[in-house]
Amino acid sequence: MAEAPGGAPLAIICGGGSFPGAVADAVAARGRRPVMFGIKGWADPAVIGRFVHHWISLGQAGRFFRLAKAENCREVVFIGTVLRPPLTALRLDWHTIKLMPRVIRFFRGGDDTLLSGVAGVAESGGLRVVGVKDVAPELFVPKGVLGRRQPSPRDYGDIDRGLKLIATLGPFDVGQAAVVAAGHVIAVEAAEGTDYMLARIAELRGLGRVTAPAGVGVLVKAPKHGQDRRFDLPSIGPRTIELVSAAGLAGLAVTAGSTMIAEAEATIAAADREKIFMVGVREGDLGANTQ
């Protein structure tokens, strides 16, 4: 079979959510054939069903390598949500068992260790791991304000504090997000994830535990310092806007070029409707933003 103009078919290992479909559409639009490998229990059949696809289980590296080879894939990208499974929940095949000492090391480390480890396994199977940004750059938040609402100077102060906090937490391999309101850090994300953290802010407000008035405060999301940016990228979408609004915040700031945006038009429309600002920032040039 002749190669497509965009190169050999691309293996896409798919976790949950809508991003796997968006990445596959972007890849196909460039004339390259996407081959979906849906992770059982995480990938959404409705999302991957629109493309050539196979189902795999986490831990079945051997089956994945055989299928990817049969499909003539030379590169692989990981996309979508995969919460860390308990080690005992994995169904292990022979290829994986040979890799067990390495796998156990991943599971003992934090997310970064796990993810870098997965890349190592893929590469040991002869596939090159590429980043989502290499194959679908249009799915990332650009620098600057998206939508109509502009952040205030106070908002930029909160953004700056949130970015510094997340950078400080880097060595602990924890959290990619925080909420800062009028200079106070009111939430730090760890295992709960961004949506859960935002729901907490709404609840704490109801209990009188967040005293910044409604319309003050910013969700700041940024990849962890030192994070392997081929995986586990922070992302936002229409649901994020709903939760930011319910939490009574002024808006959200994400690192430009490293945060994905799902359904960009719908997300921006939701932000405008809820009067939420949304800004792509680069760490290091916040001074310039506040001019």
Binding footprint of a copy of itself on the chain (CB under 8 A) = 83-87, 108-110, 161, 164-165, 168-169, 171-175, 178-179, 182-193, 196, 200, 204, 208-211, 213
∠ CA 228-7-132, rounded to 5°: 25
Q: Is 201 exposed, middle or buried (0-12, 13-18, 19+ CB in 10 A)?
A: buried
Kindly state the smallest distance separating residue 196's Cβ from a copy of itself, in Å.
8
For a copy of itself, give the closer residue by CB, 62 or 223.
223
Q: Give one word for 13, left, alpha or beta, with left for phi > 0 and alpha for psi -120 to 50.
A: beta
Q: How far is the CB of 230 from a copy of itself (least distance, A)?
A: 21
Instruction: Identify the DSSP state of 190.
Output: S
Residue whose CB is less far from a copy of itself, 83 or 266: 83
Identity of the residue, 102 or 184, whose beta carbon is nearer to a copy of itself in the bound complex: 184
Question: Contact 33/4 with Cβ under 8 angstroms?
Answer: yes
Angle, nearest 10°, between helix axes 238-246 and 194-206?
A: 20
Q: Between 163 and 254, whose beta carbon lies closer to a copy of itself?
A: 163
Q: Which is nearer to a copy of itself, 75 or 111 (CB)?
A: 111
**Closest distance between a copy of itself and the C-beta of residue 174, in Å?**
4
> How near is the Cβ of 88 to a copy of itself at its closest, in Å?
9
Question: Exposed, middle or buried by CB within 10 Å (0-12, 13-18, 19+), for 89?
Answer: exposed
Instruction: Provide, rounded to whole angstroms, the least separation between the CB of residue 108 and a copy of itself.
Output: 7
Could you give the C-alpha distances from 89 to 41, 57, 213, in angstroms and in order?
Answer: 11, 11, 45
